Structure 1
């Protein structure tokens, strides 16, 4: 299993999770962050620091966000096996589901 970033991250991209990830598996897209399921070690460090509660263990994703498991995995089809987020930097695209969303209102 792995952790997954869901809808609350869209247009938020706080990036606190990136600083906490010990294996550099959280990548930046244009509108949200993505966890590479092949690099994630399931430590949960990212989940506990996310200020918008966008990160879930795959089995704990709310029903309305189940698609985000696929979204996170498919984001990496273009990157293949990048070997660490810091190495590749921010990407100028998002998964089509995310790219097609209307702008998300800021919390509060």
Structure 2
């Protein structure tokens, strides 16, 4: 409830607070892709296989640092991706499976306007 209240406040505010929804919008448009990507990244980091296997080895501040780093990477990657494409890669695949052919790339005119 606190997060929702903060986002409502941010959506109505001006200045720095008004930038929050704009920055997070691409992340929301790629929610399926980001959810699965974050799950894979964290699994690789903490449960290993070929990753470092840090489960039980990282203290709370270290864990918070890893989470924030992954969030920042996903925010930047989502912005980069959504500037070029209409939806995330897994969203496109999902829609293609149940709707048939779906365009992924943005038109050049649309991308320049964004």
Q: Quick one: higher RCO (CA 8 Å, sep 6+), 1 or 2?
A: 1
Task: Give the TM-score normalised by the residue count of structure 1.
Answer: 0.27
> Which structure carries more helix by proportion?
2
> Which structure carries more strand by proportion?
1
Task: Give the TM-score normalised by the residue count of structure 2.
Answer: 0.26
Structure number, greater radius of gyration: 2
